[in-house]
Amino acid sequence: MEDNIELEKLKWMLKPKQLVNEDYSPYYGDVTKLNTERLLLDSCGKDVFDYLVNDFLDLLSTSVAVYELNGDYAYGIFSSGWCRLLDQSSRKLCDTDNNEEALQCGKWICHDSCWETAYKAIKTQTLVDADCEGGINLYAVPIYAFNKVVGCIICGYGNPPENLEVLKDLSETYKIELEDLIEVKEAYEPRPIFLIELAKRRIKMTAKMLGKMVELGIREQELEESKNQLNKAYMREEFYKDLFTHDMKNILQNFSMGLDLCESNMKQSENKEKCLNLLSIMKDQVLRGKQLVRNVRDLSAIEGSEMTLKEKEIFSILKNVIKRIKKAYQTRIARIKLNATETTYFCSVNQLIVDVFENLLINAIIHNENDEVIITVNLKKKIIEDQNYIKIEFIDNALGIREHRKKEIFERSITDLESRKRGGLGLFLVSKIMKIFGGKIWVENRVKNDPSQGSNFIILLPES
């Protein structure tokens, strides 16, 4: 007779099962939307959680939560009327529509009870079997990934209390009518001990599988990052190769033409002066080639390492650069005038500040078709939005830059080879260096509304 009663209690197991999340969503919404850590949530996702949790929750028909290490919800489900009623009732005690406030208010009894047990499992890194404030029990299992705890899965288990006094206490605590509480208690199909133990083993297995999912997700992310880094490195290599080939081809072509013309004119003694002019052109091309090699080297260094900055006096650096440029391009009629309101200007930079000055000056010379190259460099201190800057202007009488290209020459991607061919590697390098220095660069017309009269390249460097 007693055996028949026990067997009668297990009839529910013969009923067709359904997925645990099919019918129910809590009225207060989805608390996983508040998840900021997202390691478990993004590594597994709701579909994976549903699939794994269903393996043991259909044995218990209670509730399950998965917590991130910081306590954020990665997953939550209530499958029994008992757990649903107590959760909803204790949520209403919070007296707020804001879930974030409700989680912190201390009145959401079901949440607080679950998280307290899960937190203990996380901190002790062990299984925790504890009483639930809702009259059943809680089983919490820490989730490990790479031998470190990354979260916790916790499940309610056990039959609702039969004792009337206990039910009355729960009714008062949760503000639930006693009749309603008894009704959902009676509706719960009792679970025998062996079934609960089986479910616990499955919960532990689920925790291991979730940990493996996290490890897999991290490995995939690392692999994707490595792939992106390799792709960027390949793109940089191709970019530098193609750009170097393009610019060097132009330089060598000019050099070759100069040699051919020089050879032709040397056959006629009266063309000695022409030969000297051609030799000076070829010398300019050699200087361009040297600068190109240096620019490619510096660009590669910028891409491949962290750059350290220290305070330097840039006025003296600029004067030395101007002196070298005048000597290197002495065959060109170039007048470079330097104006400064003070004698010292200090900025946090590094050796690449030389490349900034050289490239802006050389750019003004090699793109200048006038008989006389005129460059004016102005330095002054300037305050912009309570920040002290050093403003340097490089004003030339070269061809100028059309309006639609003034931002383009600094902002195009390194993958846009055609843009870089038109804009020059030097300006691209200057733009990248200025970002390292926390500075700015832009170009204006020397004469307002008339780009044909030359350009004014302006840089701002934070004063130190």
Could you report the per-residue pLDDT of 360-409, keeping only the tens digit for each? 998 888 888 888 899 999 999 999 999 999 999 999 998 888 887 777 77
User: Would you place residue 420 in the very low, low, confident or very high pLDDT band (cuts 50, 70, 90)?
Assistant: very low
Burial class (CB in 10 A: 0-12, 13-18, 19+), 281: middle
Distance CA 13, CA 29 (A): 31
Distance CA 273, CA 228 (A): 56
The alpha carbon of 178 is separated from its chain's Cα centroid by a whole number of angstroms, namely: 53
DSSP assignment letter at 31? G
Cα dihedral 339, 342, 347, 349 in deg (nearest 10): 40
Residue 418 has pLDDT above 50, yes or no: no
Phi-psi region of 439 (alpha: psi -120 to 50; beta: other; left: phi over 0): beta
Distance CA 375, CA 322 (A): 10
Phi, psi of 439 (to 5 degrees): -105, -170
Contacts of 391 (CB under 8 A, 6+ apart): 378, 379, 380, 381, 382, 458, 459, 460
CATH code of the region 2-223: 3.30.450
Q: What is the pLDDT of residue 433?
A: 86
Could you report the per-residue pLDDT of 320-359, keeping only the tens digit for each? 999 888 877 766 677 899 999 999 999 999 888 988 998 8
Could you report the per-residue pLDDT of 5-51, keeping only the tens digit for each? 555 656 655 565 544 445 689 999 999 999 999 999 999 999 999 99
Domain 306-464 -> CATH class: alpha beta
Average pLDDT over every residue of 104-117: 97
Report field, pTM of the whole predicted structure over 0.85? no
Residue 257 has pLDDT above 90, yes or no: no
Q: Which residues make up the CATH 3.30.450 domain(s) of the chain? A: 2-223
